């Protein structure tokens, strides 16, 4: 079995555990918000802190600057391509209204940059320390998500969008970089470093369990209810844009741009990722058609084992 297929199936199996846990009411309907808070406020910060402060390679690398720039730039590119795509292909009264187009663009524009990408990268490159660079790349994605994605869903940009950048993972990245570059990392007690690493390692499986539980919640809430022709069109157009068109464009640009070899590996994996589940939460909070966002995100995730395997098999080794 190829590493790409192995990584894809790993993601599916752990997510399936979350799906089953929700169906069996181990995780009750509506209770996934508690897991989300645990993940965002405790587990992810622990993973970020341990990955950055224990990675001295950052001190002699331009990755600190290039990784977030690439993360922001490529998500911005995805939004531009998705907007043009939506304007051309989303036709009919039930698809062409402004809210639906904005929701479709937001759903396709942000890839699942963390919960799926992390286990895929760990599985594909087990002997390489790429989690730190990946998290730096994700800083750029976070900035794009809380500015471009939120503004797209709302239809305007304001201070509220900008203030959303200052979330716990982002603050932890900034703090961790200060600790690293100031040399304070040398004075972190071993027991504390080991503890944060142990807690951080639980972020990946719990994040994937949360993905599965969220999928189950959405299906129970009637994700695929409504006019059949509209749902089918959204599914097909969402997959065409997110799983085929955008990865192809990313692959061309990644091959052309001179980047650090490790950053290229991260970018190729990001290009193959499905749509982010987080945009569903953003659509609920900032406005937009939640059903449209959920249709694109969920179907993208369901077919991702196949698409990830195909795209990563085409990436230069």
Q: What's residue 219's pLDDT?
A: 77
Q: What's residue 243's pLDDT?
A: 95
In order, the DSSP letters of 272-310 are T--B-THHHHHHHHH-S-HHHHHHHHHHHHHTHHHHHHH
Domains contained in the chain, CATH given: 3-303 (1.20.1530.20)
End-to-end CA distance of the chain: 16
**Distance, CA of 108 to CA of 244 (rounded, Å):** 11
* Residues facing residue 111 across a β-bridge: 275
| Phi, psi (degrees; rounded to nearest 5) at 104 | -60, -45
> Are the CB atoms for 75 and 145 separated by under 8 Å?
yes
Q: What's residue 82's pLDDT?
A: 95
Question: Measuring CA to CA, which residue among 176, 132, 164 is closest to residue 278?
Answer: 164
- pLDDT mean by block of 10 residues, the chain; 317 residues: 71 87 84 78 88 79 85 95 91 75 92 84 84 86 83 73 70 88 91 93 85 79 68 88 96 93 93 87 75 86 88 85
Q: What's residue 203's pLDDT?
A: 85
Q: What's residue 38's pLDDT?
A: 86
> Are the CB atoms for 153 and 288 separated by under 8 Å?
yes
Q: What's residue 126's pLDDT?
A: 82
């Amino acid at each position: 079995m190829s590493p790409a297929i192995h990584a894809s199936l790993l993601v599916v199996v752990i997510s399936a555990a979350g799906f089953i846990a929700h169906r069996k009411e181990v995780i009750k309907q509506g209770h996934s918000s508690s897991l989300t808070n645990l993940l965002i406020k405790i587990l992810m910060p622990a993973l970020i802190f341990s990955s950055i402060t224990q990675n001295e390679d950052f001190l002699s690398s331009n990755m600190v600057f290039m990784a977030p720039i690439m993360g922001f730039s490529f998500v911005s590119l995805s939004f531009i391509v998705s907007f043009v795509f939506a304007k051309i292909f989303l036709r009919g009264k039930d698809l062409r209204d402004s809210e639906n187009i904005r929701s479709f663009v937001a759903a396709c524009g942000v890839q699942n940059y963390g919960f799926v990408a992390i286990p895929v990268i760990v599985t594909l490159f087990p002997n390489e320390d790429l989690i730190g660079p990946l998290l730096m790349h994700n800083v750029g994605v976070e900035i794009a998500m809380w500015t471009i994605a939120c503004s797209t869903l709302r239809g305007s940009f304001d201070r509220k969008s900008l203030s959303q950048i200052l979330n716990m993972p982002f603050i932890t990245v900034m703090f961790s970089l200060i600790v690293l570059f100031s040399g304070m990392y040398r004075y972190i007690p071993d027991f504390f470093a080991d503890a944060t690493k142990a807690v951080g390692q639980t972020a990946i499986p719990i994040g994937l369990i949360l993905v599965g539980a969220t999928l189950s919640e959405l299906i129970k809430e009637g994700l695929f209810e409504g006019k059949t022709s509209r749902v089918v069109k959204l599914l097909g157009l969402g997959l065409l844009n997110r799983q085929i068109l955008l990865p192809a464009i990313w692959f061309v640009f990644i091959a052309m741009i001179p980047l650090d070899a490790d950053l290229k590996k991260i970018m190729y994996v990001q290009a193959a990722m499905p749509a982010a589940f987080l945009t569903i939460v953003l659509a609920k909070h900032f406005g937009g058609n939640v059903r449209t966002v959920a249709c694109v995100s969920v179907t993208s995730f369901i077919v991702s084992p196949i698409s990830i395997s195909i795209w990563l098999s085409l990436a230069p080794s």
